[in-house]
Amino acid sequence: MNLTLASFLYLIAAVAFIVGLKRLQSPVTARRGNQLAALGMLIAIVVTLLVTDIISPWIVVAGLVVGGGIGGFLAQKVEMTAMPQLVAAFNGFGGGASALVAAAEFLSVDSLPLRTDITIVLSTVIGAVTLSGSFVAFGKLQGLISGQPVGYPGQKLGDPLVAVIIVGLSIWVVLGGSALVLWILVLMAMILGVIRVLPIGGADMPVVISFLNAFSGLAASMAGFVIESNALIISGALVGASGLILTNIMVKAMNRSLGNVLFGAFGAAAMEGGPGAIGEKPVRAATADDVAVTLAYAGSVIVVPGYGLAVAQAQHNLKELTNLLEERGVEVRYAIHPVAGRMPGHMNVLLAEADVEYDKLYDLDQIQDDFPRTDVALIVGANDVVNPGARDDETSPIYGMPILDVDKATTAIVIKRSLSPGFAGIDNPLFYMDNTLMYFADAKRAMTDLVAAVKEA
Amino acid sequence: MADLVIPITVFVLAAFIGFEVITKVPPQLHTPLMSGSNAISGVTIIGALVVAGAGDTTTASILGFLAVAFATINVVGGFLVTDRMLEMFHSKKEKP
């Protein structure tokens, strides 16, 4: 195939990626957008196979078959709750592939121009950090590694030392270092990925996988500089931008800074209040029948789902409950906090799986003003995102974090197993308010009992 | 370094397009956005194919094989799982 024609076809692939992403701006066009991007990818792959002199076709075929098999299998089998770790793993593979491409380019040619050496080093380092960091994130999300921050003695000196070694080795490679130096560089970059992600707590993983997403895009872009491919540079830049935007949204929703998530441990302040302060104040406990009556005779209900709902696998039961309420003429909407799940937009996917129509799901900004006009806010498996302390109490460790104003509804019903504080260990003043009903139960059990009780009501 | 000007220009302009397009993606689609854009970053597969196809030494063959396999996992898995998610999104009107 003619190289100019190939360049135009690569351009068409890049345009397909951009238009595909643009169609993700609405749920109506999103699916076709993703398919268009996939078509663009197919074009890029076919063109590459046609223009490249392939002297070892079996290696290419074996890689495609093995990779396609594993990728396809994982995509079909994964539970929607496990989506964050799957995306983390895919990020890792993408970063790893970019690092390998750059390393192989370095090994295949004896002397490279300076600019190629620089981009090879960047691509290898960013790709290797993405690879190891993503798999640590995967391990934490999958529960293979402790979700608690894990450090090592002397980390404050050790981390900068590893970073300095990486910079030194990078310069060495650019100035003519051998393949061995490059491999040591890869190893050090992978160590950096591990020691930087291990100390980050499980609750901060949404930020980490968004950030690593940006990194995998950047690595692809750098690989594009190495092999002089505009299609790669463009696609990598798109993904880098996407990852950075999502990182920024997550960080804002948690009221943190990126530096604070990546380099500071959370929870030191939260411990000072001590667990002794929790559970001593009176609460209004309610039974399934109380809650069912309150819901059944309400005019409007806003459901605030949290990750606890998904952990209990109670989304389908919740859907059944809201169907019953809607049959009785109750207006039901859902309020989704940006950090309701374990990755950006995760809760929307979990509810879509349970057949909840997406036009009933509202973002924080869209629904916040409606709470004062709502009869019941039903909180299932959420805690910190409805903690009024974040809004009112300057001494609260999460002060300033945007929350859903559920306490402004006429009645707030909290379904929770006990009064124990959430992941961050912070007490929630919502539980002790006069207009709050506490319904102590496991989310799934609560939903099935409520379905039965609403039928009776 | 002069020959870096054009690729850097392409990179910067593409990043701006990315910011413009992706800022408008609603939060409810952020998970599919992440998995879909992740699949797009697997475009590094075109570099992997070149590397694997040129495998003249054992080391190059191993690296090439791994690069293609890793990138293909990323591409195939990413697009398929995104499609699986987006298939589940329904509105009231579309409901049977």
Answer whether residue A349 is part of any domain.
yes
The range of the structural domain enclosing residue A164 comes to 82-263
Residue A273: what pLDDT? 40
Is the same domain home to A290 and A430?
Answer: yes
Q: Does A247 touch chain B (CB under 8 A)?
A: no
Examine the domain organization and report whether A279 and A368 are in the same domain.
Answer: yes
Residue A158, pLDDT score: 87
Residues A329 and A359 in one domain: yes
Asked if A59 and B65 come within 8 Å (Cβ–Cβ), the reply is yes
Would you place residue A272 in the very low, low, confident or very high pLDDT band (cuts 50, 70, 90)?
very low
Residue A364 lies in a domain: yes
Q: Determine the pLDDT at residue B8.
A: 93
- Nearest residue on chain B to A59, judged by CA atoms? B65
- How close A263 comes to chain B (CA, Å)? 24
What is the reported pLDDT for A64?
96
Give pLDDT, residue A114: 75
Residues A67 and A165 in one domain: no
Partner-chain contact B28 A27, CB within 8 Å: yes
At A267 the pLDDT is 38
The answer on A191 and A177 residing in a single domain is yes
Q: How far is B17 from chain A (nearest CA, A)?
A: 7
> Which of A77, A100, A131 is where one domain is finished?
A77
Average predicted confidence (pLDDT) for chain A: 89
Residue A184 corresponds to which tokens in the numbers above?
A: 């040591």
| Residue A156 CB-density burial (10 A; 0-12 exposed, 13-18 middle, 19+ buried) | exposed
Residue A139 sits in the same domain as residue A197: yes
Q: What is the mean pLDDT of residues A199-218?
A: 89
A212 touches B: beta carbon within 8 Å: no
Whether residues A435 and A399 fall in one domain: yes
* C-alpha to C-alpha distance for A319 and A323, rounded to whole angstroms: 6
A243 band by pLDDT with thresholds 50, 70 and 90: very high
Does A199 reside within a domain? yes
Note whether residue A269 is domain-resident. Answer: no
d(CA A48, CA A55): 14
Count other Cβ atoms within 10 Å, centred on residue A172: 16
A224 and A90 fall within a common domain: yes
Instruction: Please check whether residues A181 and A312 belong to one and the same domain.
Output: no
| pLDDT tens readout for residues A151-163 | 888 888 888 899 9
Q: Rounded mean pLDDT of A162-166?
A: 94
Contact list in A for residue B59 (CB cut-off 8 A) is 107
Q: Indicate yes or no: CB of B72 within 8 angstroms of CB of A104.
A: no
pLDDT at A24 over 70: yes
**What confidence tier does A422 reach under pLDDT thresholds 50, 70, 90?**
low
- Counting the structural domains of chain A, the total is 3
Residues A194, A135 share a domain: yes
pLDDT confidence band for A418 (50 / 70 / 90): confident
CB A377 within 8 A of CB A294: no
Q: What is the pLDDT of residue A14?
A: 94
Which residue among A263, A297, A321 closes a domain? A263
Distance from CA of A382 to the nearest CA of B (A): 18
- Which of A226, A241, A263 terminates a domain? The answer is A263
Question: Does A352 reach chain B within 8 Å, measured CB to CB?
Answer: yes
Closest by CA position to A451, among listed A297, A289, A343, A307: A289
Is residue A168 a part of any domain in this protein?
A: yes
Question: So what's the pLDDT on residue A269?
Answer: 37
- Tokens 């540079």 identify what position? A233
Q: Are residues A109 and A194 in the same domain?
A: yes
**pLDDT-based confidence at A111, cuts 50/70/90?**
low
pLDDT of residue B96: 47
Name every chain A residue with its beta carbon within 8 A of the beta carbon of B91. Answer: 27-28, 357-359
CA-closest candidate to residue A235, choices A4, A85, A40: A40
Phi first, then psi, for residue A84 (nearest 5°) are -60, -45
The pLDDT of residue A399 is above 80: yes
Spatial CA neighbour of B28 closest among A380, A4, A30, A162: A30
Average the pLDDT over A161-179 and give the result. 91
From A244, which residue of chain B is nearest by alpha-carbon distance? B19
Residues of A in contact with B63 (CB under 8 A): 100, 103-104, 107
> Which residues, at least 6 apart from A125, have a Cβ–Cβ distance to it below 8 Å?
A99, A166, A170, A185, A189
pLDDT of residue A100: 94
Structural domain includes residue A268: no
Element (H, E) at A300: strand A300-305
Mean pLDDT, residues A321-334:
94
All residue ranges of chain B with pLDDT < 50 are: 96
CA angle A352, A247, A94 (to 5 degrees): 80
Taking the C-alpha atoms of residue A170 and residue A234, their distance in angstroms, rounded to an integer, is: 25
What tokens does A101 get? 């491409």
**pLDDT value at position A271?**
37
Shared-domain flag, residues A281 and A244: no
**pLDDT average, residue stretch A312-323:** 92
Q: State phi, psi for A378 to the nearest 5 degrees.
A: -105, 110
Q: Which of A7, A23, A226, A238 to mutate to test the interface with B (most CBs of B within 10 A)?
A: A238
Give the pTM.
0.89
Strand arrangement of the beta sheet that strand A331-336 belongs to: A361-363, A331-336, A300-305, A376-380, A411-416, A436-440
Residue with tokens 């413009």: B20
8 A C-beta contact, residue A239 and residue A115: no
Give the domain ranges of chain B.
Answer: 29-88
Which residues contact residue A321 at a Cβ distance below 8 angstroms, ignoring those fewer than 6 apart?
Answer: A295, A447, A450, A451, A454
Is A386 within 8 Å of A404 (Cβ atoms)? Answer: yes
Inter-chain residue contact A231 with B77, CB threshold 8 Å: no
Catalytic residues of A: 384
Q: What is the mean pLDDT of residues A161-185?
A: 91
CA A19/CA A11 separation, integer angstroms: 12
